[in-house]
């Protein structure tokens, strides 16, 4: 509805889903998104499933850094 394109709507849905999942796992959503924006660009390959899974809200490292 508020996106200019299908790709924009899809990106927004992914971000909002991640933030809501973070909230349900007891994280501070602002700290979580800040952590993602600071660390994800430094990853060598975001193509690998294991790299991305390490940044999901229920992982121990994220739980320790984003509460």
Given a cut of 70, whether residue 47 has pLDDT beyond it is yes
**Count of structural domains within the chain:** 1
The mean per-residue pLDDT over the stretch 38-51 comes to: 86
Asked if 65 and 31 touch (Cβ cutoff 8 Å), the reply is yes
Rounded to 10 deg, the angle between the 6-24 and 29-39 helix axes is 120
Range of the domain at 40: 6-65
Given a cut of 70, whether residue 1 has pLDDT beyond it is no
Q: How confident is the model at residue 38 (pLDDT cuts 50, 70, 90)?
A: very high
Asked if 57 and 22 touch (Cβ cutoff 8 Å), the reply is yes
């Amino acid at each position: 509805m508020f996106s200019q394109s299908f790709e924009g709507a899809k990106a927004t849905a992914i971000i909002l889903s991640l933030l809501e999942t973070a909230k349900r796992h007891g994280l501070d959503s602002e700290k979580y998104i800040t952590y993602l924006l600071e660390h994800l660009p430094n990853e060598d390959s975001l193509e690998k499933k294991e790299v991305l899974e390490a940044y999901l809200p229920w992982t121990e490292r994220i739980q320790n850094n984003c509460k």
